[in-house]
Amino acid sequence: MKKIALLGCLLGLAWGAAAPAQDYLPPIDDPNFRPYPIAVPAFKELGTGAAALAKEGAEILRNDLGIAGSFKVLDPRSYLADPAKEGLTGAAINFPDWLNVGAEGLAKAGVAIDGAEVILEGRLFDVATGKELLQLKLKGPKDNLRPLVHQFADRIVKHFTGVRSVFSTQIAFAKKVKGNKAICLMDFDGFGERCLVSNDSINLLPAWSPDGRYVYFSSYLKGGPHAWRVELATGRMNQVSKQRGLNIGVAAAPDGSAIAMTLSKDDNSEIYRMAPDGTKVARLTNNFAIDASPTWSPDSKQLAFVSERSGNPQIYVISAAGGEPRRLTFQGNYNQTPDWSPRGDWILFNARDERLVYDIFKVNPDTGEIRRLTQDQGNNEHARWSPDGNLVVFNSTRAGESKLYIMNADGTNQRMISKGSGEYTNPAWGPWAPEKK
Amino acid sequence: MRTALPRLAPKILLLVAALALAGCPKKIPQPEIDAAERAMADLDKLKDCAPELVAAARAAMEQAEGLMKAEKYDEAKAAYLAARSLADKARKECDEKKKAAEEAEKKRLAELAAQEAARAMNNTPAEAPSGPAALVTVLFDFNAAELTDKARADLEQNAEYLRARPALRVQVEGHCDSRGSTEYNLALGERRAMATRQFLVKLGVDPERLEIISFGEERPADPDSTEEAFGKNRRAEFRELQ
């Protein structure tokens, strides 16, 4: 009886909501969401010398669309058409072959080598009507097909969802190197790993400036630990905050006006707000307990942070101007590492559950509603949103040593992205590069 | 399908409204649940000083949750109120015990400091350093920066070591086990270092001789992920400077 009554409540709610215009696929967390089935056959080698690239290209595209979460990439082994024989244009494609493997969309591409350059010709079709939805031609250096395929994937996602994908973004992280830690970068899919800051010291907790120009981090290079930042274009490093004690866990305001971090210069860990270069320091919290891990709301007007003022660590929210904080989490007794979604609707955090295992959860900043995202797979910590708020990157010990993983915002589609050996921690998802005109 | 909807919709709406009115749960004692959960939040920390009250509070909470499942909301409300009251009592008992212990400790330290002062007045000749041969590492409980009895005893030894070497300066390093967040552990490690320094100062060591730094979970004494290793990693370590 109770179940029926509850269903009645839910139905009543759904009935009241207006149906949105259906030009785009519904978002992943929409009740009407269903992954869009798309076929991505091997790319066609145009001319000679591009066979390996053609094979690699299709794999990159399938991986991108799989990570995007909105698509179901159909298993290439099931395809009826021979990709080497079938053409790239609508007239040369036998659409019933694609309809019969369950595809609604078909992404095709050809790859050609032209001197030192590689050319990618991509097309997107609606299988039911045979209509060409998208056509593009991209050029780049021969040894670097990857960014071209990411661009093609980006256009496909934008066509179906109306929003920018994260395929051209990067993730910063801390990596253990010979007992110390380096600050490194990887593409969103884990490829192209390289280190920005590697010295004989411990470097931790990378965080991006909203324009993607700097990565902030905390380092023991000159004691401290102090807060530093490195300019990506030049590799130039400078100290942002070198107060006595801790200078850790920088978070940059999305509007670029300020940064926040934890300082212990006044003999206790408190949250401070300052200008992006570390000047104009203002204290926000004032409590005998540990206060740490600030994260900004998307409008830069509030911060969520961790405090153990209730006796154990919990998530609180405070105005960026300071004042009395509001407690947000009441369940569990060990909640840490908040990260406020760029959409504003959820705050990721970490909790230790009753079995003393660490998992990732999210809490609604207005209602306090909590949802669990990981379970029964090692310790999962330090979750950070992608710039579109669709995906989450985190570190997990599910395969032994700590590695980086991504998942959809609802906890589905979890996959390891870090490729190397060694311990990966503290991921931070970078912003979009300015959009090309 | 689409044409059938407008005719059916009013009926469905009526049905939905009726069900919603009749069946939406109303009597859940939410304020009492919230208050009880808040009161219970830090119960783990109280279980050593008020074990009976903590156990009783937990039992009441369990009972309340059982009653909620059975939808006996009025009875559950009473049980939640009981749980909250028991938890509050446990907290009070612990506060009182803690206060008494602090008083006793203060008295003991004052006596120690007086002895130290008397020794300095008598200008005891600086003999070849005797007593403890090295500074010992002190250990902490999970998520705690409070000194245990063992840690206090170890620090009394360390204070003796430092008194025998008045020119020596040391760095007190606070460390944590690998569980929990990087940032929180850096803060917790610093608290451990601070608590350690503070106690040494109370024992008469000049604060100028004691620098502190936190390494959080970055420099484990034992890199394993076992309870035994975690226990070794929650520590304050001493490094002699110069």
- pLDDT at position A23: 75
- pLDDT at position A314: 97
**pLDDT band, very low/low/confident/very high, at B88 (cuts 50, 70, 90):** confident
- pLDDT at position A164: 86
> Over chain A, what HEC string results?
CHHHHHHHHHHHHHHHCCCCCCCCCCCCCCCCCCCEEEECCCCEECCCCCHHHHHHHHHHHHHHHHHHCCEEECCHHHCCCCCCCCCCCHHHCCHHHHHCCCCCEEEEEEEEEECCEEEEEEEEEECCCCEEEEEEEEEEECCCCHHHHHHHHHHHHHHHHCCCCCCCCEEEEEEEECCEEEEEEEECCCCCCEEEECCCCEEEEEEECCCCCEEEEEECECECCEEEEEECCCCCEEEEECCCCCEEEEEECCCCCCEEEEECCCCCCEEEEECCCCCCCEECCCCCCCEEEEEECCCCCEEEEEECCCCCCEEEEEECCCCCCEECCCCCCCEEEEEECCCCCCEEEEEECCCCCEEEEEECCCCCCEEECCCCCCCEEEEEECCCCCEEEEEECCCCCCEEEEEECCCCCCEECCCCCCCEEEEEECCCCCCCC
Interface test with chain B among A291, A293, A396, A425, by most B beta carbons within 10 Å: A293
Give the integer Cα–Cα distance in Å for A26 and A32: 7
Beta-carbon separation of B187 and A290 below 8 A: yes
- Region A81-107: mean pLDDT is 90
Interface contact A300, partner B, CB < 8 A = no
Instruction: Report the b/e string of A304-340 with b at 16+ CB within 10 A.
Output: bbbbbbbebbbbbbbebeeeebeebbbebbbbbbbbb
How many contacts (CB atoms, under 8 Å) link A and B? 126
Interface contact A426, partner B, CB < 8 A = yes
- pLDDT at position A208: 98
**pLDDT band, very low/low/confident/very high, at B1 (cuts 50, 70, 90):** very low
- Region A170-180: mean pLDDT is 94
Q: Which residue is associated with the tokens 């850096």?
A: B186
- pLDDT at position A437: 44
- The 3-state DSSP class for residue B214 equals strand
- Region B112-137: mean pLDDT is 73
A428 pLDDT above the threshold of 60: yes
Beta-carbon separation of B181 and A306 below 8 A: yes
Beta-carbon separation of A306 and B214 below 8 A: no
List chain A residues with CB under 8 Å of B194.
267
- pLDDT at position A219: 97
- pLDDT at position B128: 53
* Beta-carbon count within 10 A of A24 CB: 14
Beta-carbon separation of A290 and B188 below 8 A: yes
Q: Which of A8, A264, A293 sits opposite B181 (nearest CB)?
A: A293
- pLDDT at position B123: 61
- The 3-state DSSP class for residue B141 equals coil
Percent of chain B with pLDDT over 70: 85
The larger pLDDT score, comparing residue A417 to residue A69, is at A417
* Beta-carbon count within 10 A of A169 CB: 22
- pLDDT at position A233: 92
* Beta-carbon count within 10 A of A56 CB: 17
Interface contact B20, partner A, CB < 8 A = yes
- Region A15-39: mean pLDDT is 70
Domains of chain A: 36-161 (3.40.50.10070), 170-429 (2.120.10.30)
Beta-carbon separation of B23 and A6 below 8 A: yes
CA angle A416–A306–A176, rounded 5-degree value:
40
How far away is chain A from the Cα of B165, in angstroms, using its nearest Cα?
A: 26
B118 pLDDT above the threshold of 80: no
List chain A residues with CB under 8 Å of B180.
313, 334, 336, 352, 358
Interface test with chain A among B181, B194, B227, by most A beta carbons within 10 Å: B181
Interface contact A381, partner B, CB < 8 A = yes
Percent of chain A with pLDDT over 90: 75
Closest residue on chain B to A204 (Cα): B182
Beta-carbon separation of A7 and B19 below 8 A: yes
- pLDDT at position A274: 97
Interface contact A380, partner B, CB < 8 A = no
Whether the Cβ atoms of residue B180 and residue A336 lie closer than 8 Å to each other: yes
Q: Alpha carbon of B63 to those of A331, B33, B76: distances in Å? A: 18, 12, 8
Beta-carbon separation of A352 and B186 below 8 A: no
Q: Which residue is associated with the tokens 């944590």?
A: B176
- Region A185-195: mean pLDDT is 94
Residues in A 155-214 with any Cβ partner in B closer than 8 A: 181, 202, 204-205
**pLDDT band, very low/low/confident/very high, at B71 (cuts 50, 70, 90):** confident
Q: Which of B23, B181, B186 sits opposite A337 (nearest CB)?
A: B181
Q: Which residue is associated with the tokens 């008494």?
A: B100
- pLDDT at position A5: 41
Q: Please provide the average confidence, as pLDDT, over all residues in chain B.
A: 83
Element (H, E) at B206: none
- Region A39-62: mean pLDDT is 90
A257 pLDDT above the threshold of 90: yes
Give the integer Cα–Cα distance in Å for A190 and A395: 13
- pLDDT at position B115: 80
Give the integer Cα–Cα distance in Å for A192 and A186: 5
A8-22, A71-85, A113-127, A204-218: range with lowest mean pLDDT:
A8-22
pLDDT digits (tens, 9 = 90+) for B16-61: 444 444 444 557 888 888 888 888 888 888 888 888 888 888 888 8
pLDDT digits (tens, 9 = 90+) for B137-173: 999 999 899 999 999 999 999 999 999 999 999 999 9
- pLDDT at position B26: 53
- pLDDT at position B10: 52
How far away is chain B from the Cα of A362, in angstroms, using its nearest Cα?
A: 16
Interface contact B115, partner A, CB < 8 A = no
What ipTM goes with this model?
A: 0.84
| The CATH number of domain B112-120+131-240, selected from 3.40.50.300, 3.20.20.150, 3.30.70.580, 3.30.1330.60 | 3.30.1330.60
Beta-carbon separation of B41 and A311 below 8 A: yes
Interface test with chain A among B182, B225, B226, by most A beta carbons within 10 Å: B182
pLDDT digits (tens, 9 = 90+) for A267-280: 999 999 999 999 99
* Beta-carbon count within 10 A of B122 CB: 8
- Region B94-109: mean pLDDT is 87
